[in-house]
Amino acid sequence: MPDIKHFDPEATLDQVVDLFWRRGADATGIADVVQTTGLSRSSLYATFGGKAQLQAAALGRYLERRSRPVFETLAADDRGVPAVAAFFERLVAARCSGEHARWGCLVTNTHATAGGELPEVREILDRHHDALRAALRAALVVARAKGQLRAGVDVEAAAEALTLQAYAVNLRSRAGAEAGVLLAGVRAVLDGLTEER
């Protein structure tokens, strides 16, 4: 007879995402997950596998539910540099105020931990990086077509630099940096890419 789950795995995974995001997966034991979700260890293991698989599942859910919609919006925005600026403004606002203020980004936080070296986790980190860089590259291609970029700007390198800037915003906001300081740093990077008017 098949095992019937008496809980919603999707809702449970959402709880785990928030727990790992707020506290860090490396600092969170299975006992903490049991306490947060109200599930037994055996139910967690039977549904998600071990800690590494649970971390990968939570990270994958974060990418699909939180990150990817933002990246798709950026890639579809036809304003060029203003689209990139708006992306960073929304990022800083989300990191410095609201429900998840000072939590940083689950993906960025994971890059900075030993958990980021797990193969199943590393694959998701790489997917996130590629998706963010591709969205920024798309915006920069539009910016170049609109004549907004300085002559000689390497769009590929600039997209990578802006991706790294997003990680910096995530890490520094978690450490308590003020929104104005973060935005000033972003503006300095964008000023280095844009054509003077």
**What percentage of the chain exceeds 70 in pLDDT?**
96
Kindly give, in sequence order, each residue whose CB lies less than 8 Å from that of residue 90, ignoring residues fewer than 6 positions away: 70
In order of 23, 74, 101, 163, 183, the CA distances from 175 in angstroms are: 13, 26, 11, 19, 15
**Three-state SS across 53-67?**
HHHHHHHHHHHHHHH
- 69 vs 155: CA distance, rounded Å: 22
List pLDDT tens digits, range 43-67. 999 999 999 999 999 999 999 999 9
Q: Would you state the pLDDT for residue 116?
A: 78
Neighbours of 108 (CB within 10 A): 20
pLDDT surpassing 80 at residue 4:
no
Model pLDDT for residues 101-122, shown as the tens digit of each residue = 999 999 999 998 887 788 999 9
Q: What's the pLDDT at 19?
A: 97
* pLDDT at residue 141 in the model: 98
pTM of the predicted model, to two decimals? 0.92
Which CATH number does the domain 51-193 belong to among 1.10.357.10, 3.30.420.610, 1.10.8.100, 3.40.50.300?
Answer: 1.10.357.10
Q: What is the pLDDT of residue 2?
A: 43
| Mean pLDDT calculated for residue range 119-143 | 97
Residue 197, pLDDT score: 54
